[in-house]
Amino acid sequence: MVSKQQYRDGMARFAAAVHIVTTDGPGGRSGFTASAACSVTDDPPTVLVCLNRASNLHTVFQRNGVFCINTLAADQQPLAELFARHSGMPVEERFALPSWEKSETGAPVLRDALATFDCRIMNVQEVGTHWVMFGAVQELRLPEKSSALLYLNRGYHRLNLG
């Protein structure tokens, strides 16, 4: 059997894009930094994102029924750190920064992200320590960017595109 620490050490070598996942609606506005997000299928366009069950954000996302995965460019590392659980800055101050606008579903969308996937929640599954939220992509934005922000070996890294 693989131990929890072995698994974590292995996943530290699993390079992942960095995202800020946002929501807004009757449950309130919120967001968190995530690396556990991926494509499920292209027909219909569906993505998933994982949210730790220890977080109190699950009820906010579920009540709103929407989320936006904002995939970060390399120059957006400060935003990733700001939306990480340990940042300490109140949520409203995070969204007061000038880089946010409203998406089709109402979730906050990062204007200069590498890519944004605006979604309606289709299904939520509890798996171990996390909630897995499946989203039907309603709108996709792909601004021109030259680099991506990755998380690998417990640190941020820049990947130049093209």
Reported as a single tens digit per residue, the pLDDT across 114-143 is 999 999 999 999 999 999 999 999 999 999
Q: Is the pLDDT of residue 56 over 90?
A: no
CATH number (domain holding residue 71): 2.30.110.10
Number of domains forming the structure of the chain: 1
E-strand spans in 95-154? 100-102, 108-110, 115-127, 130-141, 147-152
Per-residue pLDDT, 45: 98
CA distance 31 to 69: 10
Reported as a single tens digit per residue, the pLDDT across 13-49 is 999 999 999 999 999 999 999 999 999 999 999 999 9
Residues 6+ apart with CB under 8 A from 136: 44, 45, 46, 119, 120, 122
Reported as a single tens digit per residue, the pLDDT across 104-117 is 999 999 999 999 99
For the segment 67-95, the average pLDDT, to the nearest whole number, is: 91
Domain range for residue 110? 4-160
Average predicted confidence (pLDDT) for the chain: 95
Instruction: Name the DSSP class of 96.
Output: T
Distances (CA, A) of 129 to 16, 45, 50, 83, 126: 19, 26, 10, 20, 8
